[in-house]
Amino acid sequence: MSILAIRDLVVRTADGRTLVDHLSLSVAPGERLGLIGESGSGKSLTSLAALGLLPEGMTATGSVELAGTQVVGATEKQLTAVRGRQAAIVFQEPLTALDPLMRVGRQIAGPLARHRGLKGAALRHAVVEALRQVRLPEPERLARSFPHEISGGQRQRVALAMALACEPRLLIADEPTTALDVTVQSDLLDLLDALVRERAMALLFISHDLAVVARTSERVIVLKDGRAVEEGPVRDVVHAPRDPYTAALVDSARRLEHALDRRRTR
Ligand SMILES: Nc1ncnc2c1ncn2[C@@H]1O[C@H](COP(=O)(O)OP(=O)(O)OP(=O)(O)O)[C@@H](O)[C@H]1O
């Protein structure tokens, strides 16, 4: 059974505009699926719909089954039972997930206490361990910091530690490295890849960047104007795109790669 099965998902605004248009996708346990498309293609709305987190006024129809729970039309109580434990999300901007006025350690302690029932010394130990698992140096010191006192890359690792605290079976990563500079981005992708493999977690990786998706995912779905235009193993899609839109994405990724290569050899 899939950990996430989306069928005929339609997301509309209150005034009736269709932003996601009959999208179907599924993620098997342990599978890594990439969702790619340019800005505004509906990637984020799809990821939010998967967790029942669509913005106020938007409606979803169709079916979104997350670990066997129907998310479309679910109550907040039903959603709370699957969020975190079954699936967790990391966003492009880690500050979205972090409270600027709370020390990092306390923020990670929240989900750990709720989901694992830890407290006192055991909770403090688990917080440090969670920070260590996302390869943060000096986790004891870091736990005492406020989000603004640490770097962007460190903040994204903290957001990742929070998402992993409940040991979800599916991690949704929505452009998690876009706000970071290139070397930090590369380190975070390596970390994400290692964590997903170590924990045999499924991954839904969302990005506008084909090179990044190729690095993180086995299979990819190409989204354009809220519709899936192509789907297949990453290798096939990159080497022999069938849809003209995908071909254009591949072409621009190649041109960028060549330009970078030329700069490197200069
Ligand atoms: N709260 C909202 N109200 C109205 N329209 C919205 C809202 N959120 C998103 N949209 C519109 O829905 C469409 C899809 O947005 P979405 O954020 O899913 O795109 P995306 O592919 O994730 O793009 P990006 O990479 O820029 O985040 C866009 O046209 C966007 O303007």
Neighbours of 205 (CB within 10 A): 27
**Nearest-CA residue for atom 9 of ligand 1:** 45
- 46 backbone dihedrals φ, ψ, rounded to 5°: -65, -45
Q: Which atom of ligand 1 lies at the shortest distance from residue 223's CA?
A: 21
Predicted confidence at residue 266, as pLDDT, reads 65
d(C-alpha 154, C-alpha 173), whole Å: 16
Q: ∠ CA(110), CA(2), CA(26), 5° rounding?
A: 100
Report the separation in Å between the CA atom of 262 and the middle of ligand 1, taken as the mean of its atom positions: 35
The string of pLDDT tens digits covering residues 98-140 is 999 999 999 999 989 988 889 999 999 999 999 999 999 999 9
Residue 56 is given by DSSP the state T
The reported pTM is 0.92
Q: State pLDDT tens for residues 152-164.
A: 999 999 999 999 9
Query: What's the CA-to-centroid distance between 183 and ligand 1, angstroms?
Result: 28
Q: Is the ipTM of this complex over 0.90?
A: yes
Ligand 1 atom nearest 226 alpha carbon: 14
CA 198, 113, 160 angle in degrees (round to 5)?
Answer: 40
Which of 12, 44, 58, 221 most suits a substitution to test ligand 1, by most atoms within 8 Å of the C-beta?
44
Expressed in angstroms and rounded, the spacing between residue 177 Cα and the centre of ligand 1 is 18
Q: Is 41 in the pocket of ligand 1 (CB under 6 A)?
A: yes
Gap from CA of 221 to ligand 1 centroid (Å): 17
Q: Is there an atom of ligand 1 within 6 Å of 55 CB?
A: yes
DSSP-derived secondary structure for 228-264? EEEEEEHHHHHHS--SHHHHHHHHHHHHHHHHHHHHH
pLDDT score at 78: 92
Q: How many other CB atoms are there within 10 angstroms of residue 233's CB atom?
A: 12
CB 89 within 8 A of CB 174: yes
Domains and CATH numbers, the chain: 1-86+192-266 (3.40.50.300)
Higher pLDDT, 210 or 4: 4
Q: What does each C-alpha distance from 89 to 86, 141, 159, 217 come to in angstroms? A: 11, 25, 9, 16
Bridge-based pairing of strands 69-70 and 227-233 is: unpaired
What does each C-alpha distance from 35 to 140, 217, 222, 240 come to in angstroms? 36, 9, 6, 18
pLDDT tens digits for 13-68? 999 999 999 999 999 999 999 999 988 999 999 999 999 999 999 999 999 999 99
